[in-house]
Amino acid sequence: MTVDKEMLAQFLLRMGDNTLVLGHRVSEWCGHAPILEEDIALANTALDLIGQTQLWLGHAADVMGEGKSADDLAFLRDVWDFRNVLLLELPNGDFGQTLMRQFLFDAFQSILLPRLMKSTDAEVAAIAAKASKEAAYHVERSADTVVGLGDGTEESHARMQAALEYLWPYVGEMFASDEVDAAMAAAGIAPDPATLRDEYDALVGKVLAEATLSIPSDGFAHKGGRSGKMHTEHLGHMLTQMQWLQRAYPGNTW
């Protein structure tokens, strides 16, 4: 079956932008985490995500065939060209909010990536095989932290419940299917994300129940990041920090 290269490129940008944006957000904790062990753990998580970004955006650049590199896609695109879900561009907030966001995304990745290992696109399958090992560790760690804080002190429980209520309206976007998802599913490259929701809800529900946290009942979901139609103001602020060196000194290398 012939694959629409534009659709494939959009899918790859979504995968790479998710890990790029979250990787940068997590890296902001370097030197600021509550204890040294967490500082190192968060830095390693960020490195894993940026490593995955290099692979996803590198493949996207090859598919686009415009002579661009992963670095070009990371540092020379503007806000409206990014395809990450809105959840990942939100500010870190406190430590609990950061780990709640991490868990909500890790749970999604831990379900999606094993499916992508069976992709008809050999490069997608290879990237997923590498990334799934890291995602399995990430979700285990973030889930344990959510449980520890949620079922911890009165203060930590309150903060984790507040984080969940703030972030939950952004979860639904990860499962909002469109024409790109339909094209990828038809070609056997990636599953329709809507088909992953039941497994996701079961995994997340189990962990949050153990954390004594209540999932909000409102089914509203913010959308627009995956299509580039809408991003929060936070992404623009983040990109001014992430891209300034390449923008100020274009084409420079070490």
In a domain, 219, yes or no: no
In a domain, 235, yes or no: yes
In a domain, 194, yes or no: yes
Q: Based on the structure, what is the number of domains in the chain?
A: 1
In a domain, 35, yes or no: yes
In a domain, 220, yes or no: no
Query: Quick check: 124 and 59 in contact, CB under 8 A?
Result: yes
Query: Quick check: 249 and 76 in contact, CB under 8 A?
Result: no
- Domain residues for 189? 5-214+225-248
Query: Quick check: 13 and 126 in contact, CB under 8 A?
Result: no
pLDDT at 33: 86
Query: Quick check: 147 and 103 in contact, CB under 8 A?
Result: no
pLDDT at 252: 80
Query: Quick check: 226 and 175 in contact, CB under 8 A?
Result: no
In a domain, 171, yes or no: yes
In a domain, 183, yes or no: yes
In a domain, 253, yes or no: no
- pLDDT one digit per residue (tens) for the chain, 254 residues: 578 999 999 999 999 999 999 999 999 999 998 888 888 999 999 999 999 999 999 999 999 999 999 999 999 999 999 999 999 999 999 999 999 999 999 999 999 999 999 999 999 999 999 999 999 999 999 999 999 999 999 999 999 999 999 999 999 999 999 999 999 999 999 999 999 999 999 999 999 999 999 999 988 999 999 999 999 999 999 999 999 999 899 888 77
CATH number at residue 125: 1.20.1260.10
Q: Which two tokens stand for residue 193?
A: 């994300």
Prediction pTM value: 0.96
Phi, psi of 33 (to 5 degrees): -70, 160
pLDDT at 118: 97
Length of the chain: 254
pLDDT at 1: 58
